[in-house]
Structure 1
Amino acid sequence: MQAMVLAAGLGLRARPLSARRPKALFPVGHRPILDIILSQLRDADVEAVIINTHHLAPAIEEFLSGRDWGLKVEISYEPQILDTGGGIKKCASFLRGAPFLVVNSDVFHTFDLKGAYDHHLRSDNLATLLLYDHPPTNQVEVDEGGKIRRIGIKGERALTFTGIQVISPELLKMMPDGAFSIVEFYQLLIEQGAPIGGYMAEGYWRDIGSLPEYLALHRDVIERQLLPFEASPLHPEAQIEQGAKIEGAVWIGKGSLVSSGAYVRDSILWEGVRVEEGSVIEGCVVADGAVVRGVHRGEGIVPG
């Protein structure tokens, strides 16, 4: 089985944090989410993965170099970003031959990917979209037979497209060249009567492409023990000085320091962060190497 991870996006919803790290390398439980995704794909019996890159591509390449997930991993660099559909079409020579998985790099989930793949093999679908009931973003309408009728309209039978899908190689031949949205392409095919199906995924899912959702995931990870590995919110190489106050869902990364007299609540500190004495951080994500002074609420904080 083969798979593709979509990691070329600009991360506009996650600015200014995504100006420092591509979203594919945002840490979840102190590990880049791309690391978690590749491990999940391996566990689903995927043997080869291609990852498209554009924004901060060297950072992703550096992360991948020298690591072994038990998978063949290749990179498809896009000098000009091709959107979701164009990125997939560019990798057609790698993905041809059998149905393949496609996973967005900014979603965290606990789904059975192998089960979804097997469901696709039993269907006549050109593509099978993994769907999830998440009312704020439910916009995919599915009929009683599991076929998708419309995308982009809320309704009683609407569900959320999770950014995870299984695609048959025949679909690659139908895709246009250049940049295009895979969701808009599916809507066009549906209007023409093509079989695009939905698969109701079970488990946990969250799109972490925005700061509030990224924070919410880390709260859920603590409360629901979602990680497939052991991880303490306080990294073993982080330090909280006596007199500092920590409340709520707080993750403190490697080499970070919370000084005496500082207050941190419901926030994520990446690596090498220093929170100065008397500072207040609530509902924030702090990027690598930032020095925090003063009062900050609901912000993405970067150095400088």
Structure 2
Amino acid sequence: MILAAGLGTRLRPLTYVRPKALVPVSGTTVLRFWFEQLQAMSFGGVVVNAYHRPEQILAEIDSWQSAFPMEVRVEKELLGTGGGIRNMLDFCNGEPFVVVNGDIVCDAPLQKLAQRFLRLGEDLVLLLHDCPAFNNVAVDAGGQILGFGEEALSLARDRTDIRLQAFTGIHFIKPQVIQHLSVGRPHDIVAVYRQRIAEGRPPRALWSPGLFWREMGSIEAYWALHREFSSLPTGFLIPFQTGQPLWRDPTAVVNSDAELAGVVMVGARSRVMDSCRLEDVVLWDDVMVEPGTVLRNCVVADGVICSGYHEGQILVEETS
């Protein structure tokens, strides 16, 4: 299951144009990345939830050639993480499943981790890692998860056997964990996990040594991801375009006397005309950069026609 229904408020105004999982990143999207990863790992099928601009997710997935069953569940109201997972439960036919948040990128070997999950015999396992900026999950010496957020921080202060880790956004779940939730109603999955802790049935932690993990929940994180990908080895995380600060889609046109510097990504059917200068710029699809335009530290969303001088701006169509 890929969770892709969120509003992406921290990525606005970009998410006024596209849902977060379809925001272009280094030549592809997070949704496409996970689709290719899961297909390569021979999972039995993928189901995606959608709420914000669902027609885009439906059209995108419909255009892909899939070797396994793939389905989109459109939510009439935003069901939250728990409600979204519960709403997709029948897709799994009673089998254990993996849930991935649709705003993260990582190289976790999900198939191997899923096998470890099954061998553990647990109902619920969460993939954790050490990421100081996000370490707010309390884990004891036996690998039991005993708290999230403030209660986790409090436990870490009071108990020497507790360490703080970060949740990757990857869950391994057996259906009975959420079967009791009402279908079509909003639920918070962390509230479900907290209830299990209170009942003495805490989730178990799982780790993947050397994990590469990044989130894309904010404009700052979005830019940081582009900069980092440009400096990573080529082919590091397919299908992202890594190892090249300058990239353009094969259908894009960049005039020969346009000057590109820093990290520049030019999306499908976009055009950069003569005498332009682009420095640290991401152009989405169908963008027109008119002659003589200067863009610095800008993101330009689908269909925008831009001219003049812009620095440190996010440009979207006024009608979006």
Report the TM-score when normalising by structure 1: 0.91
- Give the AA of the match of 1:137: F
Distance 1:8 1:196 in 2: 24
Report the TM-score when normalising by structure 2: 0.87
Tell me the matched-pair count.
301
| Cα displacement (A) at 1:86 | 0.4
Residue 211 of structure 2 aligns with which residue?
203
Aligned 8 A contact 1:126 1:195 in 2: no
Residue 97 of structure 1 aligns with which residue?
94
Distance 1:299 1:158, change over 3 A: farther
Alignment counterpart, residue 236 of structure 1, candidates 246, 250, 257: 250
The 10-residue stretch of structure 1 (154-163 or 25-34) with the greater mean CA deviation from structure 2: 154-163
Q: CA RMSD for the aligned pairs?
A: 2.0
Alignment counterpart, residue 220 of structure 2, candidates 208, 212, 217: 212
Q: Which runs of 5+ in 1 are unaligned?
A: none
Counterpart of 2:179 in 1: which secondary structure? helix
Aligned 8 A contact 1:89 1:172 in 2: yes
Distance 1:187 1:299 in 2: 41
Aligned 8 A contact 2:30 2:105 in 1: yes
Residue 55 of structure 2 aligns with which residue?
58
Aligned 8 A contact 2:193 2:202 in 1: no
Distance 1:145 1:176, change over 3 A: farther
Aligned 8 A contact 2:136 2:164 in 1: yes
Residue 181 of structure 2 aligns with which residue?
175
Aligned 8 A contact 2:3 2:100 in 1: yes
The 10-residue stretch of structure 1 (26-35 or 153-162) with the greater mean CA deviation from structure 2: 153-162
1:159 aligns with 2:165: yes
- Give the AA of the match of 2:102: S
| Cα displacement (A) at 1:183 | 1.7
Distance 2:178 2:16 in 1: 32
Residue 223 of structure 1 aligns with which residue?
231
Distance 1:173 1:47 in 2: 20
Distance 2:117 2:312 in 1: 41
- Give the AA of the match of 2:227: R
Residue 159 of structure 2 aligns with which residue?
none
Residue 107 of structure 1 aligns with which residue?
104
Distance 1:162 1:296 in 2: 36
| Cα displacement (A) at 1:230 | 7.4
Q: Which runs of 5+ in 2 are unaligned?
A: 157-161
| Cα displacement (A) at 1:27 | 2.1
Aligned 8 A contact 1:39 1:69 in 2: no
1:285 aligns with 2:302: no
Distance 1:150 1:274, change over 3 A: same
Aligned 8 A contact 1:52 1:77 in 2: yes
1:256 aligns with 2:273: no
Distance 2:268 2:237 in 1: 18
Distance 1:236 1:195, change over 3 A: same
Distance 1:71 1:32 in 2: 20
Aligned 8 A contact 1:125 1:195 in 2: no
Distance 1:176 1:186 in 2: 16
Q: Write the deviation string for residues 1-43 of structure 1: whole angstroms up to 9, x where unpaired.
A: xxx1111111111111111111121223322321211111122
Taking every aligned residue pair, what percent have the same amino acid on both sides? 35
Distance 2:137 2:254 in 1: 45
